[in-house]
Amino acid sequence: MAAVQLNGIFKRYGDTQVVHGIDLNIDDGEFVVLVGPSGCGKSTLMRMVAGLEEISGGDLLIGGTRANTLAPQQRNVSMVFQSYALYPHLSVYENIAFGPRIRKESTASFKPRIEAAAKMLNLGGYLDRLPRALSGGQRQRVAMGRAVVREPSLFLFDEPLSNLDAKLRVQMRTEIKALHQRLKNTVIYVTHDQIEAMTMADRIVVMNAGRIEQAGRPLELYDRPANLFVASFLGSPSMNFAEGVLTGSGQGFALTLQDGTAIALESLPPTAVVGAKVTLGVRPEHIETVAPSPDAMLQVEVVEPTGAETHLYGNIGGSTWCVTTRQRSKVQPGERVALRFPREHRHLFDTESGRRLV
């Protein structure tokens, strides 16, 4: 087991800086997911923790020990990649035994660990098979088996599910989570998939352009995103946004959108003044469609039934909005629907800085 501390971690390739001073403390046994768009520096950060990439600046501590210059094998970490990198000519058993054999461990010492890992990962019946005779999910489990038998203090996963089909991804998500609950090891898991992040993490770290935008428990980030980036990144379909200007006087305040729609506000957000450019955010599932006094009207353009729910798409204030209803909606394209945005589900952001106001 190991806590991991990143203190002001930088990465430069030549003159280009790609990771800009990351501060992050990961507790022993915590499952932390680094999530962000492609190219934001997730893999680079993870590879610096693994020792596969030199750290340009800052301190990395694993289990309280400075690890910046330790060789990968001295860090006691196991990494599982997107590509399983199995040896095609070796059986499942031999693939998992490869590491211990290289380290010249005795068979008596590693055999029970392999059998335990195989049992835990439901590979017991496949130990004699070659990788080509396994499904994608089983191959990924062999790759995990290889990581597990090292009994590392820290597990690093770099987009391990990206090559699997959607159904298998969901299944493996649950399996990795269950594995963590059994082993209680520290995990850093990299993905660009916000649903993986939401469902697996104890704590999510949202990254953008080499910086941390926000870190916190999944529902904390979902319910109170600190800025427009996090608000738009987490959630599917994503949060709806409309830009406007704060208007009004002592009689009442409103956010007036570009198309003239005025959404009444109880009060001005603290630190904002009349005339300020503000962006309203509302999640699709929080919008109510039965409204005696609507906040806005949606001219429905597209109706998407998914079975469990229905998505209605249309334009509000110059942006496409999505409204999710649980009922089987009878609404047809072309109809106008009255919408209410409950106060407790409104997110207001400063349009220029992107920062959350309330």
Contacts with ligand ADP by CB under 6 A lie at 13, 18, 36, 38-44
Q: Given the complex with ligand ADP, which of 45 and 164 has the nearer CB atom? A: 45
Whether 155 and 186 have beta carbons less than 8 Å apart is answered as yes
- Sequential DSSP letters for 142-174: HHHHHHHTT--SEEEEESTTTTS-HHHHHHHHH
DSSP code of 136? H
Reduce the DSSP state of residue 193 to 3 states and report it.
coil
Q: Given the complex with ligand ADP, which of 159 and 295 has the nearer CB atom? A: 159
**Residue with the two structure tokens 């999910």:** 137
Q: Given the complex with ligand ADP, which of 43 and 329 has the nearer CB atom? A: 43
Minimum CB separation of residue 44 from ligand ADP in Å reads 3
Q: Given the complex with ligand ADP, which of 45 and 127 has the nearer CB atom? A: 45
Q: Given the complex with ligand ADP, which of 3 and 18 has the nearer CB atom? A: 18
Minimum CB separation of residue 57 from ligand ADP in Å reads 15
Q: Given the complex with ligand ADP, which of 206 and 323 has the nearer CB atom? A: 206
Minimum CB separation of residue 4 from ligand ADP in Å reads 17
Helix (H) or strand (E) holding 281: strand 277-282
Minimum CB separation of residue 80 from ligand ADP in Å reads 15
DSSP-H helix ranges across the chain: 42-50, 92-102, 107-120, 136-148, 166-183, 194-200, 218-223, 228-233
Minimum CB separation of residue 163 from ligand ADP in Å reads 15
Q: How far apart are CA 84 and CA 86, in angstroms?
A: 6
DSSP code of 65? E
What backbone phi and psi angles, to 5 degrees, belong to 56? -80, -25
Q: How far apart are CA 14 and CA 16, in angstroms?
A: 6
Minimum CB separation of residue 38 from ligand ADP in Å reads 4
